[in-house]
Chain A
Amino acid sequence: DTGVSQDPRHKITKRGQNVTFRCDPISEHNRLYWYRQTLGQGPEFLTYFQNEAQLEKSRLLSDRFSAERPKGSFSTLEIQRTEQGDSAMYLCASSLQFGTGVTGNTIYFGEGSWLTVV
């Protein structure tokens, strides 16, 4: 499978614990995005990387949220001191910055990582 891969798919954690999600983008894609989705809502943009540079992070929900993409390949999203309100699906996506052909720079999503904070 050459799509966007996310791990773990499901995580249950106790309030106050830290959690980390990993995303492996489509191999040639230089942009990587993180979104959050709660039940009944559309995805909400959090942050994105172009290669290893994090170009937009003002939408991260609080300073408990951080993301890295150290070598411009995979990325991690960490949530520190989790709260029950952090329970959601965390989506990773990737794209080319400039694409050609039929799909161009379409953004492709992974299957998501479900977080439940108890």
Chain B
Amino acid sequence: DAKTTQPPSMDCAEGRAANLPCNHSTISGNEYVYWYRQIHSQGPQYIIHGLKNNETNEMASLIITEDRKSSTLILPHATLRDTAVYYCIVRGYSNYQLIWGAGTKLIIKP
């Protein structure tokens, strides 16, 4: 079973920040939080990952709570092309297997 819980769907207005939450209350100290997204009919796209510090790259920011039991992916200025299913995954450093939950279907509205 997936180690994460995400809302099944969210809407966001184009140009606004999209904040996607994820709960991972059973995360272990050496497990990372990864985010991927999947646009319809395409392969999953890596977005960002982190261990305990907040992270930012050209696509998004990842905010991890101090107790590491939850995190938030932030897309700072959502566009229509960000409409996708977003998956939050907990993974040990060298674990070979990603266990996928149902993800959050994010719909960006004009």
Contacts and interface: CB of A to CB of B under 8 A. Distances in A.
Interface in A65-118: 89, 91, 97-98, 102-112, 114
| Chain B at the A interface: SS class | loop
B46 A31 contact: no
Given A91-B44, A112-B43, A42 B97 contact: no
Contacts of B98: 43, 45, 107
Most buried by A among B41, B98, B101, B102: B98
B49 interface: yes
Contact of A106 (B42, B43, B46, B96): B46
A105 B43 contact: no
A22 to B, nearest CB: 15
Nearest to A97: B94
A42 B103 contact: yes
Contacts of B101: 42
Interface band, chain A: 20 to 34
A9 to B, nearest CB: 10
A105 B94 contact: yes
A19 B94 CA distance: 31
Interface string A42-75: 1111001000000110000000000000000000
Contacts of A42: 2, 87, 100-103
Interface in B21-76: 34, 36, 41-46, 49, 57
A44 B102 CA distance: 12
Contact of B96 (A55, A91, A104): A55
Interface string B79-110: 00000000100000110111111110000000
A46 B83 CA distance: 28
A45 B96 CA distance: 9
Interface of A: 4, 6, 31, 33, 42-45, 48, 55-56, 89, 91, 97-98, 102-112, 114
